[in-house]
Structure 1
Amino acid sequence: MANSSQKKIAHENGKTLLALRKGFIWVNAFYFFYRIIYHWSSFGFGLAISYLLTAGLTIVLYFQINAMGQPRYNSKGELVDAGQDLTQEGLVQYAFDIIYVTWFVHVTSAFWSKMWWFYISIPAYAGWKAWHLAIKPMLARNAAGMAAGAAGSADGSAGAPAGQSKRQAKLEKRAEKGHAVRVQKKM
Protein backbone atom coordinates (compact mmCIF):
# COMPACT_ATOMS: atom_id res chain seq x y z
CA MET A 1 0.00 0.00 0.00
CA ALA A 2 1.38 3.37 -0.95
CA ASN A 3 1.75 6.27 1.45
CA SER A 4 0.36 9.75 0.93
CA SER A 5 3.50 11.09 -0.78
CA GLN A 6 3.26 8.36 -3.42
CA LYS A 7 -0.40 9.20 -3.95
CA LYS A 8 0.47 12.87 -4.32
CA ILE A 9 3.17 12.06 -6.90
CA ALA A 10 0.70 9.87 -8.83
CA HIS A 11 -1.90 12.66 -8.79
CA GLU A 12 0.61 15.31 -9.95
CA ASN A 13 1.94 12.99 -12.67
CA GLY A 14 -1.62 12.42 -13.90
CA LYS A 15 -2.25 16.16 -14.10
CA THR A 16 1.05 16.73 -15.91
CA LEU A 17 0.40 13.99 -18.45
CA LEU A 18 -3.11 15.31 -19.09
CA ALA A 19 -1.72 18.82 -19.65
CA LEU A 20 0.83 17.43 -22.11
CA ARG A 21 -1.89 15.61 -24.05
CA LYS A 22 -4.06 18.73 -24.20
CA GLY A 23 -1.11 20.91 -25.21
CA PHE A 24 -0.11 18.53 -27.96
CA ILE A 25 -3.65 18.45 -29.33
CA TRP A 26 -4.12 22.24 -29.23
CA VAL A 27 -0.72 23.17 -30.67
CA ASN A 28 -0.91 20.68 -33.51
CA ALA A 29 -4.54 21.49 -34.28
CA PHE A 30 -3.65 25.19 -34.44
CA TYR A 31 -0.67 24.55 -36.72
CA PHE A 32 -2.64 22.20 -38.91
CA PHE A 33 -5.63 24.49 -39.42
CA TYR A 34 -3.84 27.83 -39.56
CA ARG A 35 -0.62 27.00 -41.37
CA ILE A 36 -1.50 23.95 -43.47
CA ILE A 37 -5.12 24.59 -44.39
CA TYR A 38 -5.48 28.39 -44.23
CA HIS A 39 -2.03 29.19 -45.70
CA TRP A 40 -1.65 26.16 -47.96
CA SER A 41 0.02 28.18 -50.72
CA SER A 42 3.07 28.93 -48.55
CA PHE A 43 3.31 25.43 -47.08
CA GLY A 44 6.01 23.47 -48.90
CA PHE A 45 7.79 20.15 -48.77
CA GLY A 46 10.54 21.42 -46.44
CA LEU A 47 8.02 22.74 -43.92
CA ALA A 48 6.07 19.48 -44.10
CA ILE A 49 9.18 17.41 -43.35
CA SER A 50 10.22 19.77 -40.53
CA TYR A 51 6.76 19.65 -39.01
CA LEU A 52 6.48 15.87 -39.23
CA LEU A 53 9.93 15.29 -37.74
CA THR A 54 9.43 17.66 -34.81
CA ALA A 55 5.86 16.48 -34.15
CA GLY A 56 7.15 12.91 -34.23
CA LEU A 57 9.88 13.85 -31.76
CA THR A 58 7.32 15.28 -29.34
CA ILE A 59 5.21 12.12 -29.66
CA VAL A 60 8.22 9.93 -28.86
CA LEU A 61 9.16 12.12 -25.88
CA TYR A 62 5.55 12.13 -24.65
CA PHE A 63 5.37 8.33 -24.74
CA GLN A 64 8.71 8.14 -22.91
CA ILE A 65 7.50 10.56 -20.21
CA ASN A 66 4.17 8.73 -20.02
CA ALA A 67 5.92 5.40 -19.47
CA MET A 68 8.06 6.86 -16.67
CA GLY A 69 5.30 8.78 -14.90
CA GLN A 70 2.37 6.37 -15.24
CA PRO A 71 1.15 5.09 -11.84
CA ARG A 72 0.63 1.34 -11.40
CA TYR A 73 -2.24 -0.18 -9.46
CA ASN A 74 -2.83 -3.73 -8.20
CA SER A 75 -5.96 -5.79 -8.89
CA LYS A 76 -7.73 -4.22 -5.90
CA GLY A 77 -7.22 -0.74 -7.29
CA GLU A 78 -4.59 0.22 -4.72
CA LEU A 79 -1.57 2.26 -5.77
CA VAL A 80 1.52 0.06 -6.01
CA ASP A 81 3.96 2.43 -7.72
CA ALA A 82 3.47 6.14 -8.40
CA GLY A 83 6.02 6.16 -11.20
CA GLN A 84 8.92 8.57 -11.47
CA ASP A 85 8.29 12.06 -10.13
CA LEU A 86 8.00 14.16 -13.27
CA THR A 87 8.83 17.38 -11.43
CA GLN A 88 12.38 16.32 -10.54
CA GLU A 89 15.34 17.73 -12.40
CA GLY A 90 17.19 15.60 -14.89
CA LEU A 91 16.57 14.06 -18.27
CA VAL A 92 12.79 14.22 -17.85
CA GLN A 93 12.99 17.99 -17.53
CA TYR A 94 15.10 18.17 -20.69
CA ALA A 95 12.40 16.14 -22.48
CA PHE A 96 9.80 18.65 -21.27
CA ASP A 97 12.01 21.51 -22.47
CA ILE A 98 12.32 19.97 -25.93
CA ILE A 99 8.55 19.53 -26.09
CA TYR A 100 7.95 23.15 -25.04
CA VAL A 101 10.49 24.52 -27.53
CA THR A 102 8.85 22.43 -30.25
CA TRP A 103 5.43 23.80 -29.36
CA PHE A 104 6.82 27.35 -29.39
CA VAL A 105 8.35 26.76 -32.82
CA HIS A 106 5.12 25.24 -34.16
CA VAL A 107 2.96 28.14 -32.98
CA THR A 108 5.33 30.91 -34.06
CA SER A 109 6.26 29.29 -37.37
CA ALA A 110 2.60 29.23 -38.28
CA PHE A 111 2.97 33.01 -38.68
CA TRP A 112 6.60 33.25 -39.80
CA SER A 113 8.42 30.25 -41.26
CA LYS A 114 11.86 31.56 -40.28
CA MET A 115 11.07 30.65 -36.65
CA TRP A 116 12.18 27.10 -37.44
CA TRP A 117 15.71 28.41 -36.89
CA PHE A 118 14.86 28.81 -33.21
CA TYR A 119 15.00 25.03 -32.99
CA ILE A 120 18.80 25.40 -33.04
CA SER A 121 18.53 26.57 -29.43
CA ILE A 122 18.21 22.92 -28.32
CA PRO A 123 21.62 21.70 -29.54
CA ALA A 124 23.14 25.08 -28.59
CA TYR A 125 21.94 24.63 -25.01
CA ALA A 126 23.16 21.02 -24.98
CA GLY A 127 26.58 22.18 -26.15
CA TRP A 128 26.68 24.93 -23.52
CA LYS A 129 25.78 22.44 -20.76
CA ALA A 130 28.37 19.95 -22.02
CA TRP A 131 31.01 22.67 -22.07
CA HIS A 132 30.35 23.80 -18.51
CA LEU A 133 29.72 20.38 -16.96
CA ALA A 134 32.25 18.18 -18.72
CA ILE A 135 34.66 19.75 -21.19
CA LYS A 136 35.78 22.87 -19.30
CA PRO A 137 36.47 21.05 -15.98
CA MET A 138 38.34 18.32 -17.84
CA LEU A 139 40.49 20.87 -19.66
CA ALA A 140 41.16 22.76 -16.41
CA ARG A 141 42.15 19.53 -14.66
CA ASN A 142 44.51 18.58 -17.50
CA ALA A 143 46.06 22.06 -17.54
CA ALA A 144 46.61 21.97 -13.77
CA GLY A 145 48.15 18.51 -13.99
CA MET A 146 50.48 19.58 -16.79
CA ALA A 147 51.52 22.68 -14.85
CA ALA A 148 52.21 20.62 -11.71
CA GLY A 149 54.19 18.10 -13.76
CA ALA A 150 56.29 20.86 -15.34
CA ALA A 151 56.99 22.43 -11.93
CA GLY A 152 57.91 19.05 -10.48
CA SER A 153 60.36 18.24 -13.25
CA ALA A 154 62.04 21.65 -12.93
CA ASP A 155 63.04 21.27 -9.26
CA GLY A 156 63.44 17.48 -9.17
CA SER A 157 60.42 16.67 -6.98
CA ALA A 158 57.16 15.39 -8.38
CA GLY A 159 54.99 18.41 -7.77
CA ALA A 160 55.71 18.79 -4.03
CA PRO A 161 56.75 22.26 -2.81
CA ALA A 162 60.25 22.65 -1.43
CA GLY A 163 60.63 21.25 2.10
CA GLN A 164 57.59 18.95 1.88
CA SER A 165 57.32 15.29 1.21
CA LYS A 166 55.00 14.00 -1.46
CA ARG A 167 52.66 12.66 1.22
CA GLN A 168 52.40 16.03 2.96
CA ALA A 169 51.70 17.79 -0.35
CA LYS A 170 48.98 15.25 -1.13
CA LEU A 171 47.34 15.69 2.29
CA GLU A 172 47.39 19.48 1.98
CA LYS A 173 45.87 19.23 -1.48
CA ARG A 174 43.03 17.10 -0.07
CA ALA A 175 42.52 19.57 2.76
CA GLU A 176 42.17 22.40 0.22
CA LYS A 177 39.46 20.43 -1.56
CA GLY A 178 37.47 20.26 1.66
CA HIS A 179 38.11 16.72 2.83
CA ALA A 180 38.72 16.31 6.54
CA VAL A 181 42.42 15.51 6.76
CA ARG A 182 44.81 16.05 9.62
CA VAL A 183 48.12 17.47 8.49
CA GLN A 184 51.12 17.42 10.79
CA LYS A 185 53.63 20.13 10.10
CA LYS A 186 57.33 19.62 10.82
CA MET A 187 58.84 22.00 13.29
Structure 2
Amino acid sequence: MAQKAAKSLAVRNASRLKQTHLITLAVNTIFLFLRFTFRRSLSLKRYILLSIPALAIEFYLDRAAQPSYKSDGTLRSAGEDLDAKGLTEFMWDVLYWTWINVILVIILGNRAWWLYLVVPGYAIYAAVGTASGLKGMLGGMAGGGGEAVDGAPQSQSKRQAKMEKKGGQRMAYR
Protein backbone atom coordinates (compact mmCIF):
# COMPACT_ATOMS: atom_id res chain seq x y z
CA MET A 1 0.00 0.00 0.00
CA ALA A 2 2.84 2.39 0.82
CA GLN A 3 4.42 1.68 -2.57
CA LYS A 4 1.18 2.74 -4.25
CA ALA A 5 1.24 6.08 -2.41
CA ALA A 6 4.89 6.58 -3.35
CA LYS A 7 4.14 5.87 -7.02
CA SER A 8 1.21 8.29 -6.90
CA LEU A 9 3.43 10.99 -5.36
CA ALA A 10 6.12 10.38 -7.98
CA VAL A 11 3.63 10.76 -10.84
CA ARG A 12 2.12 13.89 -9.29
CA ASN A 13 5.58 15.43 -8.70
CA ALA A 14 6.75 14.65 -12.24
CA SER A 15 3.60 16.17 -13.72
CA ARG A 16 3.80 19.32 -11.61
CA LEU A 17 7.50 19.80 -12.33
CA LYS A 18 6.92 19.43 -16.08
CA GLN A 19 4.12 22.01 -15.92
CA THR A 20 6.30 24.37 -13.86
CA HIS A 21 9.19 24.14 -16.30
CA LEU A 22 6.91 24.80 -19.27
CA ILE A 23 5.35 27.87 -17.65
CA THR A 24 8.77 29.24 -16.67
CA LEU A 25 10.06 28.65 -20.20
CA ALA A 26 7.02 30.37 -21.74
CA VAL A 27 7.08 33.43 -19.45
CA ASN A 28 10.83 33.96 -19.80
CA THR A 29 10.82 33.37 -23.56
CA ILE A 30 8.02 35.90 -24.07
CA PHE A 31 9.82 38.48 -21.93
CA LEU A 32 13.16 38.03 -23.71
CA PHE A 33 11.54 38.01 -27.15
CA LEU A 34 9.69 41.24 -26.45
CA ARG A 35 12.74 42.80 -24.79
CA PHE A 36 14.99 42.16 -27.79
CA THR A 37 12.40 43.02 -30.49
CA PHE A 38 9.66 45.49 -29.61
CA ARG A 39 10.22 46.81 -26.08
CA ARG A 40 13.90 47.63 -25.78
CA SER A 41 13.14 49.84 -22.79
CA LEU A 42 12.48 46.82 -20.54
CA SER A 43 15.31 46.48 -18.04
CA LEU A 44 17.37 43.36 -18.62
CA LYS A 45 19.43 43.88 -15.44
CA ARG A 46 16.34 43.95 -13.22
CA TYR A 47 14.92 40.94 -15.04
CA ILE A 48 18.06 38.89 -14.39
CA LEU A 49 18.41 40.08 -10.79
CA LEU A 50 14.78 39.39 -9.86
CA SER A 51 14.48 36.13 -11.81
CA ILE A 52 17.48 34.49 -10.14
CA PRO A 53 15.58 33.65 -6.90
CA ALA A 54 12.73 32.03 -8.84
CA LEU A 55 15.12 30.03 -11.01
CA ALA A 56 17.07 28.89 -7.93
CA ILE A 57 13.83 27.86 -6.22
CA GLU A 58 12.70 25.97 -9.30
CA PHE A 59 16.07 24.19 -9.49
CA TYR A 60 15.83 23.26 -5.79
CA LEU A 61 12.25 21.98 -6.12
CA ASP A 62 13.24 19.98 -9.18
CA ARG A 63 16.13 18.31 -7.34
CA ALA A 64 14.14 17.67 -4.15
CA ALA A 65 10.99 16.31 -5.78
CA GLN A 66 12.45 14.38 -8.71
CA PRO A 67 11.63 10.69 -8.27
CA SER A 68 14.60 8.31 -8.39
CA TYR A 69 14.50 4.80 -9.78
CA LYS A 70 16.62 1.69 -9.32
CA SER A 71 18.48 0.14 -12.24
CA ASP A 72 15.68 -2.39 -12.76
CA GLY A 73 13.10 0.40 -13.13
CA THR A 74 11.42 0.14 -9.75
CA LEU A 75 10.83 3.25 -7.70
CA ARG A 76 13.56 3.97 -5.13
CA SER A 77 12.29 7.30 -3.83
CA ALA A 78 9.26 9.37 -4.80
CA GLY A 79 10.98 12.62 -3.82
CA GLU A 80 9.70 15.35 -1.54
CA ASP A 81 6.04 16.31 -1.59
CA LEU A 82 5.56 19.52 -3.58
CA ASP A 83 2.31 20.24 -1.73
CA ALA A 84 4.00 20.38 1.68
CA LYS A 85 3.19 23.25 4.01
CA GLY A 86 5.69 25.77 5.34
CA LEU A 87 8.83 26.61 3.40
CA THR A 88 7.83 24.66 0.30
CA GLU A 89 4.56 26.57 0.17
CA PHE A 90 6.43 29.88 0.49
CA MET A 91 8.79 28.86 -2.33
CA TRP A 92 5.81 28.21 -4.59
CA ASP A 93 4.43 31.64 -3.69
CA VAL A 94 7.73 33.28 -4.69
CA LEU A 95 7.77 31.35 -7.95
CA TYR A 96 4.17 32.27 -8.81
CA TRP A 97 4.70 35.92 -7.89
CA THR A 98 7.81 36.09 -10.09
CA TRP A 99 5.81 34.80 -13.05
CA ILE A 100 3.03 37.30 -12.38
CA ASN A 101 5.53 40.10 -11.94
CA VAL A 102 7.33 39.36 -15.23
CA ILE A 103 3.97 39.36 -17.04
CA LEU A 104 3.05 42.68 -15.38
CA VAL A 105 6.39 44.14 -16.47
CA ILE A 106 5.66 43.05 -20.04
CA ILE A 107 2.26 44.76 -19.88
CA LEU A 108 2.96 47.81 -17.69
CA GLY A 109 6.67 48.45 -18.19
CA ASN A 110 9.65 48.79 -15.85
CA ARG A 111 7.69 50.40 -13.01
CA ALA A 112 6.01 47.06 -12.34
CA TRP A 113 9.33 45.73 -11.00
CA TRP A 114 8.50 47.58 -7.78
CA LEU A 115 5.66 45.11 -7.23
CA TYR A 116 8.31 42.48 -6.52
CA LEU A 117 8.68 44.10 -3.09
CA VAL A 118 5.53 42.22 -2.10
CA VAL A 119 7.68 39.08 -1.60
CA PRO A 120 9.99 40.44 1.14
CA GLY A 121 7.05 42.38 2.57
CA TYR A 122 5.07 39.16 2.94
CA ALA A 123 8.10 37.39 4.41
CA ILE A 124 8.43 40.11 7.06
CA TYR A 125 4.70 39.96 7.77
CA ALA A 126 4.84 36.17 8.19
CA ALA A 127 7.93 36.37 10.42
CA VAL A 128 6.35 39.01 12.67
CA GLY A 129 3.17 36.95 12.94
CA THR A 130 5.14 33.84 13.83
CA ALA A 131 7.29 35.70 16.36
CA SER A 132 4.29 37.28 18.08
CA GLY A 133 2.58 33.88 18.18
CA LEU A 134 5.65 32.34 19.79
CA LYS A 135 5.89 35.24 22.23
CA GLY A 136 2.28 34.71 23.27
CA MET A 137 2.78 30.98 23.54
CA LEU A 138 5.98 31.28 25.57
CA GLY A 139 4.70 34.18 27.68
CA GLY A 140 2.96 31.91 30.16
CA MET A 141 6.12 29.87 30.68
CA ALA A 142 8.37 32.83 31.42
CA GLY A 143 6.69 34.31 34.51
CA GLY A 144 7.19 32.89 37.94
CA GLY A 145 6.14 35.40 40.54
CA GLY A 146 3.56 37.99 41.24
CA GLU A 147 4.29 40.62 38.59
CA ALA A 148 4.32 40.52 34.85
CA VAL A 149 7.02 42.07 32.71
CA ASP A 150 5.17 45.39 32.43
CA GLY A 151 4.72 45.74 36.22
CA ALA A 152 1.06 44.80 36.40
CA PRO A 153 0.15 42.03 38.87
CA GLN A 154 -0.63 38.63 37.37
CA SER A 155 -3.86 36.95 38.31
CA GLN A 156 -3.54 33.72 40.26
CA SER A 157 -5.74 30.70 40.17
CA LYS A 158 -7.88 29.90 43.21
CA ARG A 159 -5.62 26.98 44.09
CA GLN A 160 -2.49 29.17 44.00
CA ALA A 161 -4.17 31.79 46.19
CA LYS A 162 -5.17 29.15 48.79
CA MET A 163 -1.67 27.69 48.85
CA GLU A 164 -0.15 31.12 49.36
CA LYS A 165 -2.64 31.88 52.12
CA LYS A 166 -1.68 28.67 53.97
CA GLY A 167 1.99 29.61 53.84
CA GLY A 168 3.14 28.46 50.47
CA GLN A 169 3.85 25.06 49.02
CA ARG A 170 5.44 22.57 51.40
CA MET A 171 7.70 19.73 50.42
CA ALA A 172 6.99 16.34 51.94
CA TYR A 173 9.95 14.04 52.40
CA ARG A 174 9.56 10.29 52.78
Q: Give the TM-score normalised by structure 1.
A: 0.73
Is 1:109 equivalent to 2:75 in the alignment? no
Is 1:89 equivalent to 2:85 in the alignment? yes
Distance 1:109 1:74, change over 3 A: same
Aligned residues: 160
What are the residue-to-residue correspondences of 1:138-153 with 2, within 5 Å? 138=135, 141-142=138-139, 149-150=146-147
Is 1:131 equivalent to 2:128 in the alignment? yes
Deviations 1:50-77 (A, max 9, x none): 1001222222111100111010100101
> Percentage identity across aligned positions?
27
Q: Is the 8 A contact 1:2 1:79 kept in 2?
A: no
SS at match of 1:115: helix
Q: Is the 8 A contact 1:72 1:79 kept in 2?
A: yes
SS at match of 1:164: helix
Q: Give the TM-score normalised by structure 2.
A: 0.78
The amino acid that maps onto 1:15 is S
SS at match of 2:107: coil
In the aligned structure 2, how far is the partner of 1:10 from the partner of 1:120?
A: 34
Q: Is the 8 A contact 1:6 1:81 kept in 2?
A: yes
In the aligned structure 2, how far is the partner of 1:154 from the partner of 1:135?
A: 20
The amino acid that maps onto 1:162 is A
C-alpha deviation, 1:133, in angstroms: 1.3
SS at match of 1:110: helix
What are the residue-to-residue correspondences of 1:167-186 with 2, within 5 Å? none
Distance 1:82 1:114, change over 3 A: same
C-alpha deviation, 1:162, in angstroms: 2.8
In the aligned structure 1, how far is the partner of 2:115 from the partner of 2:15?
A: 29
The amino acid that maps onto 1:4 is K
SS at match of 2:6: helix
SS at match of 1:80: strand
Unmatched 5+ stretches in structure 1? 166-187
Is 1:122 equivalent to 2:119 in the alignment? yes
CA-based RMSD of the aligned residues comes to 3.2
C-alpha deviation, 1:135, in angstroms: 3.2
